[in-house]
Amino acid sequence: MGEVKNVIETVVVDGKEMAIKRRSDNVWVNMTQMARTFGRSKRPDNWLKTKESKEYLPVLSVSTKIDTADLVIVKQGGTPEEQGTWCTDYRIAMRFAQWLDVKYSIQVDSLLVQIANGEKIVSDVLPFDGKNYISQSDYCRTLECNYHSFFGLKSHFPTEYIYVLGVWYVSMKLYRMKEADRRIRGVKADLRKEKDRWQLELDFQ
């Protein structure tokens, strides 16, 4: 399968989920999801009425050469992660987070800068097209295998692999199959060891 673009990923900041989309050197953020746990008074439309947002967005629009109306957009339909008010520049999300809660915003700022600079791969589990995927690095780390092993089933299950922003992912379905196989092999190895121990004890008797 070719590279998949515009995938929604979920990050967790201070125990709160936040949906994002990585776009080259920028990050889109679902502001509605960010605000969900902060109460009705902290909705994105209320922040957009504040003096800070009314001053900041036009200046950012000039700087980025993006219309103000395109800096904050509303999406309807689709999955819950897709729905709601999105900002198309991570710096808006940083200011929105500060309005929500200052302590929360410090963690949001640090994370979004890392993601925007390409310093952080976001999701251990990546949702796409109704399926969940795990990254190559996490697959190999948790199953204690090498990268060659990661691609070992690709010829048999090519649709279970996707390539997103320079990172290979495999479906959680295939991962769980390999994880179960690994556990079974471990149990068999333990049983063989136990059998050998019993045989030694019988031989001594």
d(CA 68, CA 61): 5
d(CA 81, CA 75): 10
Q: Tell me the average pLDDT across 86-100.
A: 97
Confidence (pTM): 0.60
Average pLDDT for the chain: 84
Q: Tell me the average pLDDT across 3-25.
A: 73
In contact, 60 and 71? CB cutoff 8 Å: yes
Q: Is the per-residue pLDDT at 124 higher than 60?
A: no
In contact, 132 and 171? CB cutoff 8 Å: yes
Confidence of residue 5 (pLDDT cuts 50, 70, 90): very low
d(CA 128, CA 138): 17
Confidence of residue 2 (pLDDT cuts 50, 70, 90): very low
Dihedral angle over CA of 87, 89, 93, 94, nearest 10: -170
DSSP for residue 6 = S
Let me know if 135 is exposed, middle or buried by CB neighbors in 10 A (0-12, 13-18, 19+): buried
CB atoms < 10 A from the CB of 200, how many?
10
d(CA 72, CA 88): 6
Tokens of 53: 């947002």
Each domain of the chain, given as residue ranges in start order, spans 8-116, 135-204
The one-letter amino acid code at 106 reads I
Confidence of residue 143 (pLDDT cuts 50, 70, 90): confident
Give residue-wise pLDDT tens across range 51-73.
999 999 999 999 999 999 999 99
Helix/strand/coil for 69: helix
Instruction: Kindly report the CATH class assigned to 8-116.
Output: alpha beta
The one-letter amino acid code at 23 reads R
